[in-house]
Chain A
Amino acid sequence: MTRSNTLSIALPALVVLALIIAPLGLDPFGYTLRILCLMLLFCAMGQAWNIVGGLANQISLGHAAYFGIGAYSSTILFGSLGVSPLIGVFVGMFLAAIFALVLSLPTLRLKGHYFALATLAAGEVARVVANSWTSLTGGPVGISVPYRPDAGFWALQFQTVLPNYYLFLGAMILVSLVFWLVQTSAFGYRLRAIKENETAAEVIGVNTYRVKLHASILSAVLTAMLGTLYAQFQFFFDPDTIFGVATISVKMALIVILGGAGRLYGPWVGAAVIIPLEEMANSYLGNSIAGLSQFAYGVLLIVVILLNPRGLISLFESLRDRLKGRQRA
């Protein structure tokens, strides 16, 4: 095993170990722990987006649709029928798969800008439906998850934030594992062939339509699962935040692009930078001037694209290579 290989396994293992130990010293009801939870959740969301957006370069701006479907499915089932979110999560995943399938029929042959536009509109469709189907979703005022801490794990609700934290850590590792399996499999190579040159991929016998369809459904299902976890964590959400273009769809993509698109640790780096930054901006500035944190967010996106569209990881790598070159010389 080469040195860089050892490093690429040892470093993430250390990070995971640190993430397991980290909350032990923190207040189990505390604000810091909540931010760490969000960081893990958004990392997992970015990783789910990374399967289609990163590997196949299909820029979806509508992943909020799957996220919201997951959140609403489990919450409505739990609220009105008392069905455990542990079952509701699978209903949400199933519905998201259906939505991805239906959406794929008209959109999967679209490329680049056109695909981004169509998925953006699809996310908006979900938002409009959630806003207007008041009898089911509660409409624009939002929906609450009934609080039943006595029901314990069956209700997926906990007395402290700590179990949530480990749940999110597990989800993040799971989604990353799925991404890694896809990335290193023949399926992943086909996705990357599509990214590099779709026509050429088709010529050498890749069924590009089917490969993209499978990737989209996989990504949608994982995103819906995370939507349920989010609902159980926040206890309240409304259509405009859960289906939001800025709050969910673009954020998922930004996390991946900031870290490095199509890379396993891209969303890790992206989420570790963005979420704490955003929370800090919100707590220090958010209340004094409305719009400042979103403004900063837009500027950050522009700066990332202009300075290094390949992400922070590649920045580290080029720095490391330069240092190595200097040592040799």
Chain B
Amino acid sequence: MEYLIILLQTLLDGIMIGGVYAVLAIGLSLVFGVMHIVNFAHAEFMMIGMFIGWACWHFFGLDPMLGAFIALAVTFCFGMVLQRVLIRPVLGAPQVAQIFLTVGMLFALENAALMIMGAEYRSVTTPYQTQSLTLFSYGSERVLVGMDKLYAFLMALLSGSAVWLFLNKTRFGAAMRATSQDPMAAKLMGVNTDLMYAVAFGLGVGTTAFGGSVVLPYITASPAVGSGYAVLMFTVVVLGGLGSVTGAIIGGIAVGVIQSFSALFMPIQLQNLALFVVFILVLALRPEGIVARRRS
């Protein structure tokens, strides 16, 4: 029974963190799905979201769960501008140009943050950080979930569903999917594809910034935090299939659960190593993703 409790607890921890990975990765997947660009700088928008969430908390006393909406809005606009100025010129360019443009953005954003915010770590204090909810108990053994993780998971679920609904149930979303499938045909049908690209990029980096803000209660913000999550986000997206929102959610939870189980018997460095190796293997064996993309 004790083992079962440990297993349940590990599974639950994995799902909680995995939900957040999912929302971090949805944006990356969306950008690729619509624009066919791999955004190497994407994890930096998580860092930007964290700093916006932190600033809202520090200056206005706003909870990071609410600050996340401000992070989303600000990063959305910033993303639209970046897309217009930097990404649009390379949309039809060779992949080399696209890769190095976004790699350049990565360095510029990370170090701009370093110049503005300094290298120190910044964290928030919220009343629920130390609280936890007992889901299940057996004798003295309990299955617990930290309230900060639970709130972050619920917010992730909320934003993930919102993006899914937007893409699948609105006219605008349908136009965006049309642009993703065949930009020329979409254009002929009267879709403003330039607008679609800008919105897709804005929304993509916005959701990731949203995810950055909701994890603030248990992950400290610093300019370098993004690079630590970059490979993780790519792993999630590649697992689920680049360009698929549902895939990103399944991939996110899978990575969270794998990570939480490997923590039972592996030191942290080896966990990262295992993640990289899994990533390379998935790329090699199933670059279209474990969850094959559903054709609609």
- Mark A residues whose CB is within 8 Å of B: 57, 59, 61, 103, 105-107, 109-110, 112-114, 116-118, 120-122, 124-125, 128-129, 131-132, 245-246, 250, 253-254, 257, 261, 289-292, 294-295, 297-302, 304-306, 309
Q: Does B61 contact A (CB under 8 A)?
A: no
- In the complex, the answer to whether B223 meets A291 with C-beta atoms within 8 Å is yes
Q: Does B114 contact A (CB under 8 A)?
A: yes
A304 CA to B223 CA in the complex, in Å?
A: 25
Q: Does B94 contact A (CB under 8 A)?
A: yes
- In the complex, the answer to whether A246 meets B107 with C-beta atoms within 8 Å is yes
Interface pick from B95-103, B149-157, B207-215: B95-103
- Mark B residues whose CB is within 8 Å of A: 38, 40, 86, 89-90, 93-101, 103-115, 118-119, 223, 227, 231, 234, 238, 267, 269-270, 272-273, 276-277, 279-281, 283-285, 287
Q: How many A-B residue pairs have CB under 8 A?
A: 140
Per a CB cutoff under 8 Å, which of A109, A112, A250, A261 touches B103? A250
A57 CA to B96 CA in the complex, in Å?
A: 8
Inter-chain contacts of B284 with A (CB < 8 A): 105-107, 109-110, 118
Inter-chain contacts of A120 with B (CB < 8 A): 40, 231
Known contacts A107-B283, A118-B283, A309-B94; is-contact A257 B38 (Cβ 8 Å): no
User: Shortest Cβ distance from B23 into chain A, in angstroms?
Assistant: 21
- In the complex, the answer to whether B100 meets A305 with C-beta atoms within 8 Å is yes
Inter-chain contacts of B277 with A (CB < 8 A): 125
6 extra interface residue pairs, beta carbon distance < 8 Å, beyond A116-B99, A297-B107, A301-B100: A106-B284, A117-B234, A121-B279, A289-B115, A290-B114, A298-B111
A106 CA to B286 CA in the complex, in Å?
A: 11
Per a CB cutoff under 8 Å, which of B90, B95, B115, B285 touches A295? B115
- In the complex, the answer to whether A59 meets B96 with C-beta atoms within 8 Å is yes
Per a CB cutoff under 8 Å, which of B38, B104, B272 touches A117? B38
- In the complex, the answer to whether A305 meets B279 with C-beta atoms within 8 Å is no
- In the complex, the answer to whether B95 meets A128 with C-beta atoms within 8 Å is no
Known contacts A122-B280, A132-B269, A132-B270; is-contact A295 B107 (Cβ 8 Å): yes
A173 CA to B94 CA in the complex, in Å?
A: 30
- In the complex, the answer to whether A113 meets B105 with C-beta atoms within 8 Å is no
19 A-B pairs with CB atoms under 8 Å apart are: A57-B94, A57-B96, A59-B96, A106-B280, A106-B284, A107-B280, A113-B38, A113-B99, A117-B238, A121-B283, A124-B231, A125-B273, A128-B272, A128-B276, A292-B115, A298-B108, A300-B104, A301-B104, A302-B105
